[in-house]
Amino acid sequence: MEKKLEQLKETLATLADLGGAVGVLGWDQQTCMPPMAAEARGQQMGTLGRLAHDIATSAELGKLLEELKVHAADLDPDSDDARMIKFAVRDFEQATRIPGDFVVEQAQVIALASQAWSEAKEKSDFAHFQPHLEKIVDLTHRLIGFFPPAEHPYDTLLDFYEPEMKTAEVKSIFNTLRTQQVELIRKIGTKPQVDDSFLHQPFDEKKQWDFGVEVVTKYGYDWQRGRQDKAPHPFTSSFSINDVRITTRINPEFLNTMLFGTMHEAGHALYDLGHAPELERTNLNTGASQAVHESQSRMWENLVGRSLPFWRYFYPRLQEYFPQLTKVGLVDFYRGINKSQPSLIRVEADESTYNLHIMLRLELEIAIIEGKVQVKDLPQAWNQKMEEYLGVTPPDDARGVLQDVHWSWGYFGYFSTYALGNLISAQLWEQIIKDIPDLEDQFSLGRFDSLLAWLRKNIHCHGRKYLPQELVQKVTGSKIDPAAYMRYLNKKYTQIYDL
């Protein structure tokens, strides 16, 4: 048993190393790589991916896991070893269901589709992307077909990003949320709008960068184990527990882009930097799920970074960087960065409207999988729902159905994790406030270490040891639930808009 477990750990270490290497190649591709190197980079990443797939689906590993599964019954089910085996079995079963030829075909379709999406978005020309998206939908149907029939075919897709989450659960959560969030927006709409014009003016790029660095340093981001670079679409990349890198982008005429983008990515990074060192080079050295990951990024971006206590400390610093803000008071600044306004673009949406962008995508994805909407009809369906939920209509597809890259990557099943992440962040927050009653006072003094310590202990250190629902239940006493988030939103916006 001991020897077999060692064998498994060696295989997992090899896979972790390959994953880390692919991560470095991907990071380099988006931050450093010369333009003409794209094709070779694709080949290199493809080769590493193929080698990893061969190892992850090998008969040898399958046999090893069969043997370990039996012995695992004797282990403490919450021990690292038991969880390692559990998830190794899960990953093996998932990977072996997908034929190698399909993986290759999918990679080729995606390479062309993401290129076509980029061109289509540039020209706001959905027709250019349509045939590619049709192929991706076809692939997605075939992918579902490799798995045993689920309660709903979309369950199979969700499971890739949010293990064991069911379509029915997400729909039920979103149904509650939708009514309440639409009602909140309606109420806000009856009130005078706040002024955020001071956020739209020239802000020196170097100073923006430096302020962002100051914030995430205070958050506890460890520069000995990370770095920040610029990227057109910011992301966080983890290559090992000691190498978790963030990226940001800077809009020289709008402060929010750098500000909340940097905090968001730092939130992801703090999670990956906080996994227990024992999990390094295992299959557990990663987040519990996309939603749990997003709960961390959204917490540091919104519950911390868009809060009044945070700005009590940081606003004077920001004003030193940008003296043009001297004439804007703290509370006006706080209201400005929290302005609620239905808008076209998901990534620019405020907290009161963000989840509606997600619901729209989830509903369209389910409709496509159920065959109730055809790809060609997506632009119209998109615009209808935008009107229905947010009262705005995209003037073109670039600002409508073409705005997100996800579908071109074949990421059907992903979007809802963004909204679930918001919900989890508020559920955790209610628990944190109970455990650290003076948390907001600490923020006002520029202290975030108690928060980080709490997250490390309750969330980060576990890595992927628990399923997302299991983790949320363990920490908050209930499963993912929209109530806490709605309490948070209602309280915040009642105060800001005097509802």
CB of 38 to a second copy, least distance (A): 8
CA 227 and chain centroid, separation: 19
Under rule CB under 8 A, residue 458 binds a second copy? no
User: Radius of gyration (Cα) for the chain, nearest Å?
Assistant: 23
Contacts of 486-490 spanning 24+ positions with Cβ under 8 A: 486/177, 486/180, 486/181, 486/184, 487/426, 487/430, 488/303, 488/426, 488/429, 489/181, 489/184, 489/351, 489/352, 490/184
Main-chain dihedrals φ then ψ at residue 238, nearest 5 degrees? -120, 120
Under rule CB under 8 A, residue 47 binds a second copy? yes
CB of 45 to a second copy, least distance (A): 8
250: left (phi over 0), alpha (psi -120 to 50) or beta: beta
Of residues 222 through 241, those in contact with a second copy by CB under 8 A are: 222-227, 239-241
CB of 266 to a second copy, least distance (A): 14
Which of 134, 229 has the CB closer to a second copy? 229
Which of 4, 50 has the CB closer to a second copy? 50
Residue count (the chain): 499
Whether 470 is a known active-site residue: answer: no
Q: Which span sits near a second copy by CB under 8 A: 13-21, 87-95, 172-180, 250-258?
A: 13-21
Max distance between CA atoms of the chain, in angstroms, equals 69
Which of 166, 227 has the CB closer to a second copy? 227
**Residue among 5, 9, 17, 187 that touches a second copy (CB under 8 A):** 17
Under rule CB under 8 A, residue 18 binds a second copy? yes
Measure the CA–CA gap between 268 and 249, rounded to whole angstroms. Answer: 16
Question: How many residues belong to the site for a second copy (CB under 8 A)?
Answer: 38
Which of 37, 70 has the CB closer to a second copy? 37
- Active-site option among 265, 351, 363, 365: 265
**Nearest-5° angle of CA 265, CA 266, CA 271?**
100
Residues pairing with 247 in the sheet: 229
Under rule CB under 8 A, residue 104 binds a second copy? no
Site string for a second copy, 158-177 (x = CB under 8 A): --------------------
Q: Using DSSP, state whether 204 is helix, strand or coil.
A: coil
**Residue among 7, 14, 30, 96 that touches a second copy (CB under 8 A):** 14
Of residues 277 through 336, those in contact with a second copy by CB under 8 A are: 280-281
Which of 46, 131 has the CB closer to a second copy? 46
Helix (H) or strand (E) holding 474: helix 468-476
Which of 281, 298 has the CB closer to a second copy? 281
Which of 22, 366 has the CB closer to a second copy? 22
CB of 250 to a second copy, least distance (A): 19
Measure the CA–CA gap between 81 and 1, rounded to whole angstroms. Answer: 11
Under rule CB under 8 A, residue 53 binds a second copy? no
Q: Is 256 exposed, middle or buried (0-12, 13-18, 19+ CB in 10 A)?
A: middle
Under rule CB under 8 A, residue 101 binds a second copy? no
Site string for a second copy, 245-264 (x = CB under 8 A): x-------------------
Burial code (b: 16+ CB inside 10 Å, e: under 16) for 407-436 equals bbebbbbbbbbbbbbbbbbbbbbebbeeee
Q: For residue 146, give Cα distances in angstroms to 139, 150, 189, 311, 367.
A: 11, 11, 47, 51, 20
Measure the CA–CA gap between 448 and 216, rounded to whole angstroms. Answer: 10
CB of 466 to a second copy, least distance (A): 24
Measure the CA–CA gap between 283 and 147, rounded to whole angstroms. Answer: 22
The binding site for a second copy (CB under 8 A) comprises 13-14, 17-18, 20-21, 24-25, 28, 32-37, 39-41, 43-44, 46-48, 51, 222-227, 239-243, 245, 280-281
Q: Which residues are catalytically annotated?
A: 265
